[in-house]
A and B are shown apart, each in its own frame.
Chain A
Amino acid sequence: MEKLRYERPAIKKLNAGLMNKFGTRTEYAPCTHIDGVAVKDLIKEYGSPVFVISERTIRKTSQNANRAFKTRYPKVQFAWSYKTNYIDAVCNVFHQEGSWAEVVSIFEYQKAIDNGVPGNKIIFNGPEKSVADLEQAVNNGSFIHIDHFDELYDLIELTGRIKKKAKVAIRVNMDTGIYPMWDRFGFNYETGQAWNAITKIMASEYLELEGLHSHIGTFMLSTQAYSIAASKLSDLAVNIKYKYNKAIHYLDLGGGFPSANTLRGSYLPGADVIPSIDDFAEAITSTILNYGYKTEDLPLLILETGRALIDDAGYLLGSVLANKRLSDGRRATIMDFGVNILFTSFWYEHKITPAQEFSQHTEDMVMYGPLCMNIDVVRQSVNLPLLNKGDQVVVHKVGAYNMTQWMQFIAMRPKVILIDMDGKPHIIRENETVDTLRSMERKPDYLKKFKL
């Protein structure tokens, strides 16, 4: 029999709530394994902290999303949003599931090309595209989603110079009843700016208007907004057909579907308030289907879902560095990961679970990261069992944005592990070391030496 674990003493306020037959139970179980691999083995092998991604969850989520749309609409294409997580292995799982690539910079564009995505299956979004970037995209036959008039003029000039057709779409922003309105991207629908851009494209010799794009926001909690977006894009598409007799080949509804994370300040857990991907699919497809297209003219529906497809698949494993008592009496736990690698803790109340068995006793605590910065707070207040130094925890649903927005600040970035379909872990990104920094830094000769 294993030696009983030491548990430090804790004082807990008596909760005078209604009695129930379960007593004051801790609502969640420890998370000891991810896809059948023990957390403690992962930390032992790959260090702490470490990001773990479940391939099984990615595929399942992706298939679920595909099913939600494809059983409601005949022509659907997902494009993997690179900015959400552009580790090659992750991207390629999505590409294996049939996703195209959606990139917002030439660096992401390069990554997609390197991953083997054919040029004509890359959607190039974003406000920053140099003329050289555009030229590469035109030559590769990629879909260029024009963000502003200056980009449009660049493209007209470029294509006229190289005498090559460019496949383009415009990004349209619109009032969908959502605050804030993302009117800084693309051309506005209500003011007629979008139609203005369309007219210019139709008049240009080398631009082929293939689609219409909108991306109304992020972590959207209303399906109605997508209905409005689909309807406004369809209005443009139908008018283009009417005026120019040109059937728009695709409508790209962008991304913005939420994951099951709980937003800071939200009263209910995320999973209970967010609409499911089926709800979004229903809102979008039924709007397009009822808009009055002929069956054979129905446009392809492109979705650039990122967060909702990857968040659930990512885990962050870490260890307790120390316990502390704060001056106001609150308990504080210091972890070996902080906002440097868990950027999303700025807006999510991440679910954190101990990775080992624990008793029924819990304590409210602040969870800090390891940085010497006051802002490094992982959770302001979290009810967790009594953790000792060296205990391990699992942070859930961290697959989106963390592995792209993380900072090399004070600490180095850790390894990223992918657990494959057979439960075998693979390193898909090495941890950074001092050498990583050394390899990039250059010292002028006169600064090489000093005497103290």
Chain B
Amino acid sequence: MQRGIYRQDTLIGDVLKGTLLSYSQVFFSNSIAFAVLLLLASFIYPFIGFCGLTSVLVTQGTAALFHLNRQFIKEGVWGFNSLMIGMALGSLFQFSVPVFVLLVLASISTLVATVWVFGILQKYALPFFSFPFLLVIWLIIIAARQFNAIAVNDDQIYWMNGLYQWGGPGLLEFYQKINSVHLPLMLEVFLKSLGAIFFQNNIVTGTLIAIGLLVYSRIAFSLSVLGFTSAYLFYVLMGANVADLTVNYTGSNYIFAAIALGGFFIIPSVYSYLLVFFLTPVLAIIMLGCSGALAVLQLPSYSLAFSLFCLLLLYFLKNRTRGTKLVLVQWQNYSPEVNLYKQLVSTTRYKNASYFSFQLPVWGEWMVSQGYDGSITHLGDWAKALDFVILDEQMRSYALVGAKKEDFYCYNKPVVAPGAGWIEAVVNHVDDNEVGDVNTEDNWGNTLVIKHAWGLYTKLAHLKKDSIQVKPGDYINKGEVIAHCGSSGRSPEAHLHFQVQGYPVIGAQTMPYPVAYFIERDGNKHRFKTFETPKEGTFVSNISVNPLLSNAFGFVPGQKMEFEEQNETGEKITNEWEVFIDSYNNSYIYCHTSHAYAYFINDGVMFYFTEFYGAKKSLLYHFYLSCYKVLLGYYDIIQIEDELPIQYASKNILLWPHDVIAPFVQLVKVKYNLQYTEVDDIHNSGSIKMHSSVQTTFGGKNIDEKKFEITIENGKIQQFILIKNNIQLLSAICR
């Protein structure tokens, strides 16, 4: 979903779109198709449908008039409770002018209640479910007892009269035919429960909703079946009347709870399915309890049990300090499938987004002579530290015989700031040891502590005497030379000690923390590492950022690009792209031609796309695929690899059956690979070529592969082409 985008559509368009989406919002969806189907289903009882629609329109209009959150208007967030109010009133009362007045007032009240409940619950980052609806409907039911002008609707009871009146004997016959189809009891109850969500206790509405649900999400559908089955079995076990499930929202509670907990607010997984199956009986108890309590006031409990149950459970889960099971959805995609597929990718992709980005504190290639939990000195509270030295081809750290400290390759080499920050502490007076000597008195020797953020410090130790060129309070940039490697303190041979710590004092205990990006060499093999801790015995070096790549991918808000696209038929389309930034400080490229959005992050070393919204035929989509992850340094010795969410799998594969099993096992994978192939001059690049591919695999077997060739020239992305099965399908040239 496009959130907080600065570009705005017309108000009336947003209001109407939100009106429609209020229907799918009831089912946690933002699918327009599903909304249309639900709208139609609501009109199976035309009066109920009419009341629902009127109510939503009144609410949306009021929300627009009072300038409520525009995005919520557009998404139908304000409207779905009113939809339920409207349909509930339609099912309770017969049409009359007073009822219409009541309907309008109820809708506005629901909006007010929605804003209020939203305000309370958003502080806990919890959804407001259908509490606004419940508050208003109960008040109206109680109040309506005093309104003599309002007649109770008995259409639902004398349904066939109405049908006859409305559609003649033909319709009645048709209806009877459908109803006479003998369905297994469980299925019939299931469909009626679905129908009851729209206050329509019949199989036709239920079937329509069921189809809509299936089209919207296979996971949601399978969850609704699971939750319902669990409840059904519990009723049978407890000897309760299963027919009660169809009355007044009872069955719907189980269906809603199953979708909400199984896949919408929690990432679908084996655990979420088990949760749904085993906690549904608890929901049944809550529901019977609520109904009993409300019976005193002669009020139906509607969806109270579901709302309460989900709210409590989510609040409970949110208060876990850690947990890899039952992961809560952080960013709502309004689809259990998308929630799942994005989560699968983002656990590996964005796990590092919150880390401060450190580089190695040296230039050139160094070896990690002692890693975390090293056996020599990285012990106890000081275990998470790294020691670096320089080795030659014979794996020696010194020239000649290594008799003098100056013979050691790393001695007196520049030490650079691992990250920007303020100098916190400096020790600069300790003499360097001769080879083999240790100074346990001044254990750390000459030392620098840099403050990068509150509670995040780095320490560089055993530096050369008088080599520290900064003083406490100085601000230093990442990569600036700040000292030279030495052999002071507890250091029998020259080496550099590097650690991350939570406190500013020199003797502070270490804290495990990764280095953002580096190249690891193992023999002749080079590997690109992101947010990992260099391992003992490996050769590591920093990424050197290429100015051409950094320029070409350094999209700044307001930047405009024009790409001339030529597809396989030779047709030429001019695509106009513009870079925007939204209110959450996320950058994206918007295509004025195809109205697609591609969100990206550029952290100076890495450029990567995070989200794409729009048509999969658009040029921007292909650009999104081709440059899904780009290292801004030219390295032909490594490959950049990543995974795309499964919804970007090739169309050659039918994802629906896969969706059903996806919470448990994923057979489909979409793999991304990027390789740099050509550069004219590595130091002062004017032209760079790279190849990327997006591969769909099923059970490890390659099904489809899109290849891209990207040319960067004249300081920009000059051209990219799409090749599939050796045929050039698409080319785009920047103008």
Contact = CB atoms under 8 A, between A and B. Distances in A.
Contacts of A118: 680
Interface string B390-415: 10110000010000000001101110
Interface stretch (A38-46, A72-80, A258-266): A72-80
Contacts of A295: 477, 479-480
Interface string A63-77: 110010011111101
Interface string A173-199: 000000000000000000000000000
B681 A120 contact: yes
B683 A77 contact: yes
Contacts of B683: 75, 77, 249-250, 300
B363 interface: yes
22 contacts: A59-B393, A70-B363, A70-B365, A71-B390, A72-B413, A72-B414, A74-B363, A75-B544, A118-B680, A120-B681, A249-B683, A249-B684, A250-B683, A250-B684, A276-B399, A278-B409, A285-B414, A289-B414, A289-B481, A295-B477, A295-B480, A300-B684
Contacts of B412: 282
Interface string A399-427: 00000000000000000000000000000
B366 interface: yes
Nearest to A249: B684
A365 B363 CA distance: 51
A63 B393 contact: yes
B549 interface: no
A63 to B, nearest CB: 6
Contacts of A276: 399
B390 A72 contact: no
B362 A71 contact: yes
Contacts of A59: 393
B494 to A, nearest CB: 12
B239 interface: no
A250 B399 CA distance: 30
Contacts of B481: 289
B364 interface: yes
A60 interface: yes
A71 B393 contact: no
A111 B399 CA distance: 35
Contact of A71 (B366, B480, B544): B366
Contacts of B414: 71-73, 285, 289
A71 B392 contact: no
B645 to A, nearest CB: 36
Given A67-B409, A282-B412, A74 B390 contact: no
Nearest to B480: A295
Contacts of A164: none
Interface of A: 59-60, 63-64, 67, 70-75, 77, 118, 120-121, 141, 210, 249-250, 276, 278, 282, 285, 289, 295, 300
Contact of B364 (A70, A77, A300): A70
Interface string B350-371: 0000000000001111100000
Interface of B: 362-366, 390, 392-393, 399, 409-410, 412-414, 477, 479-481, 544, 680-681, 683-684
Given A71-B364, A71-B413, A295-B479, A120 B393 contact: no
Contacts of A285: 414
Nearest to B394: A60
A276 B408 CA distance: 13
Given A74-B544, A289-B481, A295-B479, A63 B392 contact: yes
A120 B390 contact: no
A120 B687 CA distance: 12
A59 B524 CA distance: 14
A276 B479 CA distance: 27
B401 to A, nearest CB: 14
A285 B468 CA distance: 17
A73 B414 CA distance: 8
Contacts of B544: 74-75
Contacts of A120: 680-681
A289 B469 CA distance: 12
- Secondary structure class of chain B's binding surface, majority of residues: loop
A444 to B, nearest CB: 51
A421 to B, nearest CB: 11
Nearest to B412: A282
A77 B544 CA distance: 14
A278 B392 CA distance: 13
Given A60-B393, A295-B477, A295-B479, A71 B680 contact: no
Nearest to B477: A295
A70 to B, nearest CB: 4
A55 to B, nearest CB: 13
Contacts of A250: 683-684
A71 B365 contact: yes
Nearest to A167: B684
A71 B684 contact: no
Given A249-B684, A289-B414, A67 B479 contact: no
Nearest to A63: B393
A282 B681 CA distance: 26
B479 A71 contact: no
B410 to A, nearest CB: 7
B390 A67 contact: yes
Contacts of A64: 392-393
Nearest to A250: B683
A118 B480 CA distance: 33
A67 B364 contact: yes
A67 B366 contact: no
B682 to A, nearest CB: 8
B399 A71 contact: no
B303 to A, nearest CB: 60
Contacts of A60: 393
Q: Top 8 A-B pairs ranked by shortest CB distance?
A: A71-B364, A70-B364, A300-B683, A71-B413, A74-B363, A249-B684, A120-B681, A295-B479
A60 B394 CA distance: 9
Given A64-B392, A67-B365, 5 more contacts: A64-B393, A67-B409, A71-B409, A250-B683, A295-B480
With most chain A CB atoms within 10 A of its CB, the pick from B365, B366, B477, B681 is B681
A350 to B, nearest CB: 23
B270 to A, nearest CB: 50
A171 B585 CA distance: 49
Contacts of B410: 71
A212 to B, nearest CB: 14
B409 A72 contact: no
B364 to A, nearest CB: 4
B680 to A, nearest CB: 6
Nearest to A141: B680
A60 B477 CA distance: 35
A314 to B, nearest CB: 19
Contacts of A121: 681
Nearest to B541: A70
A72 B480 contact: no
A75 B545 CA distance: 11
Residue among A59, A70, A210, A282 having the largest count of chain B Cβ atoms under 10 Å: A70
A289 B414 CA distance: 10
Nearest to B478: A295
Interface-central residue, B392, B477, B683, by most chain A CB under 10 Å: B683
Contacts of B409: 67, 71, 278
A120 B481 CA distance: 31
Nearest to A69: B364
Contacts of A249: 683-684
A13 B477 CA distance: 69
B393 A72 contact: no
Contacts of B680: 118, 120, 141
A121 B412 CA distance: 32
Contacts of B413: 71-72
Contacts of B480: 295
A24 to B, nearest CB: 26
Contacts of A67: 364-365, 390, 392, 409
**Counting chain B CB atoms within 10 Å of each CB, which of A63, A73, A74, A120 scores highest?**
A74
